[in-house]
Structure 1
Amino acid sequence: MTLSVCVCDYWQRRHYYYQPVQPKLPPVDDTDTCNNNNNQACKEQPLVLRRLQVHLDAITGNYLLQELLQQQVLRDHLQHEHGVELVWLTLQPPAQDTIDYKFADMLAHTIWEHIEVENLMSWLSTLGGGFSALGEQFERCADTAGKISLQQLKIGLRLGDPFLQARCKLYYSISLIQRGQLRQAKNMIRAQYKFAREHKEHDQRLIRMCLGIWLRLRFEYQMRNERRGG
């Protein structure tokens, strides 16, 4: 028999832990007054689940729940020493809310990190745009613009923002076009366009970026064909 814990929250919803297994009935002794010829007089008695009901505020109740879930000794003591099969924990609002300072510090650090990263992304976008414009004339500048886009992509991966990652890849594809790596740029633009179409309700700009860079790619292919034909 496994000790079960039921948590009843503010909205009377029940959350069960360690679901009980119904015990088997004890064997019937043939010498008992209840035998096969007297089935009607002897009926099975319903099993009674011995319940320990506890009313606590949500903060204290959470500590008790963690102890019940993690401490096998405590569960065995309640079950074997006191015959408890179900702990019914009813949560009540605490008289005074407490502040989780550790979580608040973690949240403040995360927010500060995001602000700094956004500031860094703005600087990188400005710097990358300048090198990208110069990349039309100088291949070295186009290469630098590509490296900046890769740095932005690393930041996007750190933030876990798929749309930012897609935009960084499109920026990098511009650098590939400027350096003459058209096939690689084509595959990258197609992949981002597929992603943009699947998530067009979230970011319409991504589709327009893909279409604009695709036109630039087509122009480069046309210029390459004309040079080869000439």
Structure 2
Amino acid sequence: MSTTETANPAAALDRAAAILDAFDAEHRELTLAALVARCGLPRSTTHRTADRMLRLGWLDKPGERYRIGERLFEISGLAPVRHELREAVLPFLQDLYGATKVAVQLGVLRGPEVLIVEKITGHRPMPMLSAVGGSIPTYCSGLGRAILAHSEPAVVDEVLAAGMPARTPRTLTSADVVRRELAVVAERGWAVDREEGNAGVSCVAAPIFGPLREIVAALSITGPSAAIRPEMAGPAVRMAAAAASRAYSVRR
């Protein structure tokens, strides 16, 4: 580490964070030139910082491309959202997948988006779905609406104020309309995304609560619209989420 980095560790961490932020689901491996372009740091700074991150195991570089290192994967498994929530809910995700044979997902709210914590797809490929660790819009997803329907008004306001661009012709882009939908979700106990995020794909989701009845996550089933019948699937998804809530609350 250089004298400048030693004197200003916060700046060094900011540079490391900028490099990590350059990676996402569409950019899993980056050349040095691509890393420089995406992180916004000078080339020499990027190269020096990335070299240090390689030695720490935060990055890996088996060839000419950088990628996230296994040490970060090991550390991420200690995060409560992965260790406590996922471990408590996973058996119910597996049961739900076994009963429906469509993709099952677990998500938590992260800013204006939903972070995908776990996903089970089986043998049916669904490339349009975000990978674990990826994120999806909150306003037009079943997972997002199941969470927002039980969130504080300020949280809902923040999510809707972040923008609601149309992803398909069926996307609800009016804040008032989304709020009315959230009221229905809160009363019914489960949320529906009818081809709003991806054409031809529908989703049914239900909320997961903590020991104080605070909203912590949501689980969902997602698949081709022809295979998803919300009126039939909704109660089953709600029951799975309720069982997952009890299991998570006991762990807490």
TM over 0.5: no
- Normalising by the smaller structure, the TM-score range is under 0.3
Please report the TM-score for the alignment, with normalisation by the length of structure 1. Answer: 0.23
Structure whose residues are more often strand by fraction: 2
> Highest relative contact order (Cα 8 Å, sep 6+), 1 or 2?
2
Determine which structure has more spread, i.e. the larger CA radius of gyration: 1
